[in-house]
Amino acid sequence: MPASRTPPPPPGLVIVDKESGPTSHDVVGKLRRIMGTRKVGHAGTLDPMATGVLVIGVERATKLLGHLSLDTKAYTATIRLGRVTSTDDAQGEAVADVDASAVDESAIRDGIAALTGDIEQVPSSVSAIKIDGKRAYQRVREGEEVEIPARPVTVSAFELVDLRRGDGVTDLDVVVDCTSGTYVRALARDLGAGLGVGGHLTALRRTRVGPFTLDHARTVEQLADAPGLSLDLAAAVATAFPRHDVDASAAADVGFGRSLPAAGLTGTYGVFAPDGRAVALMADAGELARPVVVLAPAG
């Protein structure tokens, strides 16, 4: 008799509390082994140095990743004033050192205030932004001079939590709440530049991305000891999207990719069958709602 195949895991999201060091792709590789499936992907990349919330989709929930509203993020971070680095963080080479041990606290707070709200920010030259089809960091590694134009971002909160003086430096513990596309290391760089002493990021922890927080998260080690989802497919959809419940007949139509009468909801929303299953993501288009992603295809 042929050997029985291990059934795939149920679909859903795993919210990982990433440690410092691995790339987001490294975490995906580990989750593939832990969850026993190749159908694993991530949303909202974290730099290797950073820790905290990384959203991972498993099985059919990978279809959600491109539609999740991850447009706001929250971080805790440590900024070191007094040193400029090639990458705007602690992983880069020191470019310049200036004594920042006596920078006035009120000037620091004024500098933080100037970087709060709707601002124009130039991303780090070693960011993953594509320039003519190639990542900026790849161009830097190849010796190119990279200039990235400023882009509008919103920093809804940038608050000083603690200040510590050291040998020629001042370390700032801060919390940041911002829109997607904001670079916290660029905030560190620009704060230091505005104060005339330079600055870079020494620690970064993402505490929230979209609706997903550290309360949902587990480390890779914890997941290896006890594999499992943070949110099953239905819970993931209900957490991330407005909910629209339909009857069994409408749920069956959606399973075949058919349209429904418009629900009167803005943007993409989750459609749920009477048994609680998330059957699709849909969006209104005039008088009809059309499937964006069918999550429970008709058999």
| Residues forming the active site | 47
Q: Which of 73, 66, 86 is nearest to 181 (CA)?
A: 73
Q: CB of 295 within 8 A of CB of 257?
A: no
Taking the C-alpha atoms of residue 283 and residue 294, their distance in angstroms, rounded to an integer, is 12
Half-sphere exposure of 25 (CA within 13 A, CB side): 0
Q: Which of 79, 101, 49, 99 is nearest to 162 (CA)?
A: 79
Token match 């990433």: residue?
Answer: 18
Between the alpha carbon of residue 71 and those of residues 24, 29, 43, 66, 234, the distances in Å are 18, 25, 11, 12, 21
Taking the C-alpha atoms of residue 174 and residue 188, their distance in angstroms, rounded to an integer, is 10
Tokens of 116: 């709060």
User: Which residues in 150-287 belong to E strands, given as ranges?
Assistant: 151-165, 170-179, 199-209, 212-213, 231-232, 243-245, 260-261, 268-272, 278-285
